[in-house]
Amino acid sequence: MEQEIVLNSHNKQEEPRMHSAEHLLNGTMVKMFGCKRSRNTHIERKKSKCDYPMPAPLTQEQLQELENTINNVISKNLQVSYEYMPASEAEKLYDLDKLPDDASEMLRIVHIGDYDSCPCVGAHVESTNEIGEFRISSARYQDGVQRIVYRLSAPE
């Protein structure tokens, strides 16, 4: 049976490369440091930032390891794919707290290879090599929140 899938329209035009890097940053922060995906992000074409509530600031070594890990994932040229599932099913697999209250019944799950998955209606690259090199340009810790500001070099 064919089913019409209704998605919420996205409230801002995102830069696909920067936004896809945000997915990888979130996924890597969760894996490496056990925090939650950022709920406070500011994505722009040249420079983006994500905030993570954390008990302590990341060290220079941890920031370097974070950057290296993300670049390693990007260099694997992982394909981005999409899957649709009802919110009632998705909530068992993913943290849906970030979704707006009026989110549609049918959610789109974005998979970046088998590295990261989360519900999202934004615009993404087709594969990670389009992202280019990920660089943390600054990091600041204040009031229990780790802010990471990043840039991307042009893809080769």
- Assign 3-state DSSP to the chain and report helix, strand, coil percentages, each to 5: 30, 30, 40
132 in contact with Zn ion (CB under 5 A): no
- The distance in angstroms from the start CA to the end CA of the chain is 43
Number of residues that bind Zn ion (CB under 5 A): 2
Stretch that binds Zn ion, among 63-71, 96-104, 122-130, 143-151 (CB under 5 A): 122-130
Q: How far is the CB of 1 from Zn ion (least distance, A)?
A: 28
Q: How far is the CB of 36 from Zn ion (least distance, A)?
A: 16
120 in contact with Zn ion (CB under 5 A): yes
Strands (E), the chain: 40-42, 48-53, 80-86, 106-112, 116-119, 134-142, 145-152
122 in contact with Zn ion (CB under 5 A): yes
107 in contact with Zn ion (CB under 5 A): no
Residue written as token pair 């922060």: 29
Binding site for Zn ion (CB under 5 A): 120, 122
